Amino acid sequence: MKKINALIFGSTGYIGSQLVEMLYKHKYVNIKYLCGKSSIGKKYKFSNSSLKKKILTISRFNKKFLNNVDVVFTALPNGDAQKISKILLDKNILIDLSADFRLLKSFDYNKWYKINHKAKKNIKKSIYAIPEFAKSKVKKYKIIACPGCYPTSILLPLVPLLKDNLINEKNIIIDSKSGYSGAGRNVHIKYKNKNLYESLSVYGIANHRHNPEIQQELKYRTGKNIQFDFTPHLSPMFRGILTNIYIDLKKNTTVFKVISCLKKYYKNDKFIKIMKLNNLLSTNDVINTNYCNISVSKLKSKKKIIINCAIDNLIKGGAGQAVQNLNTFYNFPIQEGFV
């Protein structure tokens, strides 16, 4: 199988770095260019000990680079991928790890991200792509928008149950805890008074940027107006997300029907693991993997359950989605880049 050439913008951030190391080991990808701003001319530093001697240099972007690559990855601040999307050649596809093409309505970017969308016409050329939902549909689009880490841990367990009408569409309570890497390299500056290593902090109540993304996709995937409350937390760990979702069961629904639904829905998806009833999850089970572990547990009330979902925010919630979508787009083995 022929190798494709890739250009990566934003290779020094947490997710960008994860992406570089995964693609460097990918049998069918050649990293042609790493492009940046503050690190131009510097050698990329691999964290993987087996790659320490490998040399990649970060370059200043030149439009001519696009002639030599098939795929462009962007792990940049919000707004930058929108500008890049306007200069792509017909031969290029864009896989974006920021929020630049996650929302379908351009005015939502101004409301939630405080930016005017710079490539409104390209929104129609993009697909919001959780790999397990989008699957081969990504092949029809020039721009592939990888979802946020929190939404990934929320949508994967909820969508199948809502589609099968097993749970109440109202009063869904979502409680998520993320490693501080989810806030980016500047997390230590942004939260300098939070004592990141020894405290748990709540933030973004009611106005977290992932709210419209979750609402949009629940509506799109189920056709229903789902009512939920989402509260994110910053946890004293570097990576990982543990999401707890409190749900009311519909009449005649049992916890066993819920587990059966999830197993059936994801039976052909390599990276989704549905655990046994009342399995207590840990982020440690998924760290440094592309797996999503989902567990269903009983609560005191027979009408309620809790769903736990654990992912690595930098892989399954970030770079791993990009690689999964890449593999699907080019018909590469789905596990390539992960082993």
What is d(CA 161, CA 169) in angstroms, rounded to the nearest whole number?
10
Exactly one of 149, 261, 292, 309 is catalytic; name it. 149
Task: Respond yes or no: is residue 149 known to be catalytic.
Answer: yes
Among 260, 248, 259, 257, CA closest to 301? 248
d(CA 25, CA 48): 11
Tokens representing 41 are: 């001319």
Using alpha carbons, select from 132, 177, 100 the residue that is nearest to residue 272. 132
**CA distance linking residue 154 with residue 309, whole number of Å:** 8
Question: What separation, in Å, do the N-terminal and C-terminal C-alpha atoms of the chain show?
Answer: 18
- φ, ψ for residue 26, nearest 5 deg: -75, 125
Please tell me what DSSP assigns to residue 43: B
Burial class (CB in 10 A: 0-12, 13-18, 19+), 86: exposed
Please give the sequence-ordered ranges of beta strands (E in DSSP) within the chain, or none if there are none: 4-9, 29-35, 58-59, 71-74, 93-96, 126-128, 143-145, 172-179, 201-202, 228-235, 241-248, 272-274, 292-298, 304-311
Cα dist from 39 to 57, 58, 60, 186, 275, whole Å: 9, 6, 9, 16, 43
Active site residues: 149
